[in-house]
Amino acid sequence: MAEPTDDATEVSPAWGSLPAEQFLIRNWDPASSLAPEEQRRTLIRAFLAMENVPAEWCAVANNGNISRVPIESEVQSVLAPWRPLRLRKIAAHIWQDRPEGLIILRTYYGNDEEAAAKFEEWLDREMGNGGSESEEDSWWRILDDREHFNLPDDQWHRVLDVLPELVGCSGQPRLPNAKALAKTRSMADHLRSFHPDLIDENYYDSLSKENVLEDLVLYEAQQRWLAIANRDSFESENENKVDSFRLLMLDGHGNIVKESDIWPEEIPMLVNSPLRGQFRDSRWWVGGVIGPRYKHDGDIGSALFAAIRNIRSQSPFRVDS
């Protein structure tokens, strides 16, 4: 747990500048029977479940104004103990500055010295000198913190309890809305006009990977690519190097849209070319496994696919079947 700060005025950005902090202070119950850590975790997960994050909750999006300035007791008991200032700085950069590109999360810290040496070797080789970025540029991209991120592989999502800012955006829906789906529909119709055999309109009767309409819906839903260095990454046959990372493509709530794997030497490709649109034809996306909630029988996938079927595109490229 982070230690409360003695002088809340010295932090930057100021307390309450981030939407997750606004949600905490607006919904905190001092009389709750939950332990502070449990109440904080419950509230952050409720924040992640919001369909839209009000733009005015983000000071940067609100002309520098903090929507509700926390009082000193809220800073000391609710906000400051939540996470160290170093991680808060990363959260602020990701949410406010919207940097594109991959984020790397280390979740395995067993065999501490050996694992640390492997990870450092990879950082130096691929991300350091001669690699993709300098340490000065990638300070926000590498999430390496034993205290907060030492997690079993099936609990990677707990990183969002500390950094909910990894997904979502102020004033934007966390999932594709009608406007986004209409745009996706038009794009699919455009593609179909040139490649009419690529789209199976009756996609509930077909799980074909070539279903462009479905693929475009999934691609519209994903917002964040997260590479995870987990136990399997470190316990490789090559005792001196990190093995493949788990690659997750997340939606605005933190659900897995697709997942794949990525070799350590491939990661700089996603770092140096941050625009996700370039990678729709990559092996990571094309060969990725669809997340449970985005499959045809998943609650999110079935709803999005049904919604887009009901949209009649206004695209001039539309070709009726």
Q: Report pLDDT digits (tens) over 260-304.
A: 999 988 888 888 665 656 677 788 998 999 999 999 999 999 999
Tell me: pLDDT of 212 over 60: yes
- How far apart CA 55 and CA 52 sit, in angstroms, is 9
Among residues 140, 134, 146, 133, the alpha carbon closest in space to that of 90 is found at: 140
Instruction: Please tell me the predicted confidence (pLDDT) of residue 165.
Output: 98
Nearest to 219, CA basis, from 163, 181, 189: 181
* Structure confidence at residue 90 as a pLDDT band (50, 70, 90): very high
**Residue 316: is its pLDDT beyond 60?**
no
Cα gap 152→107, rounded to integer Å: 7
Which pLDDT score is estimated for 267?
Answer: 87
Reported confidence tier of residue 313, pLDDT bands at 50, 70, 90: low
Task: Look at residue 245 in the predicted model and tell me its pLDDT.
Answer: 93
Which of 108, 96, 315, 115 is CA-nearest to residue 228?
Answer: 108
- What is the pLDDT at residue 277? 60
Query: What percentage of residues in the chain have a pLDDT greater than 90?
Result: 55
Q: What is the pLDDT of residues 218-227, one digit of tens each?
A: 999 999 999 9
pLDDT above 80 for 242: no
Per DSSP, 52 falls in state B
Tell me which of 171 and 317 has the higher pLDDT. 171
pLDDT on residue 91: 97
Beta carbons of 187 and 308 less than 8 angstroms apart: no
Helix (H, G, I), strand (E, B) or coil at 241: coil
pLDDT, greater one: 164 or 137: 164
Strands (E), 230-285: 245-250, 256-262
Q: What is the DSSP letter of 205?
A: G
Q: What is the pLDDT of residue 118?
A: 84
Cα dihedral 240, 109, 230, 221 sign: negative
Alpha-helix residue ranges (DSSP H) falling in the chain? 19-27, 36-49, 72-74, 85-97, 112-122, 146-149, 159-162, 178-194, 212-221, 231-234, 267-272, 283-286, 299-309
Q: Strand 245-250 relative to strand 256-262: parallel, antiparallel, unpaired? A: antiparallel
How does residue 42 score in pLDDT terms, banded at 50, 70 and 90?
very high
Q: Which pLDDT band, with edges at 50, 70 and 90, does 195 fall under?
A: low
Q: For residue 85, what are the CA distances in angstroms to 65, 79, 238?
A: 21, 10, 36
Q: Cα 44 to the chain's mean position, in Å?
A: 15
Rg (CA), the chain: 21
What average pLDDT does this structure show over 51-66? 93
pLDDT at 315: 46
pLDDT digits (tens, 9 = 90+) for 101-145: 889 999 999 877 888 888 888 888 777 644 455 556 778 999 999
Task: Report the C-alpha gap between 64 and 50 in whole angstroms.
Answer: 23
Which of 124-128, 195-199, 208-212, 314-318 is the most confident on average? 124-128
Determine the pLDDT at residue 281: 79
- Judge contact between 59 and 19, C-beta under 8 A: no
CA distance 253 to 48: 5
Instruction: Give the confidence band of 253 by pLDDT, cuts at 50, 70, 90.
Output: very high
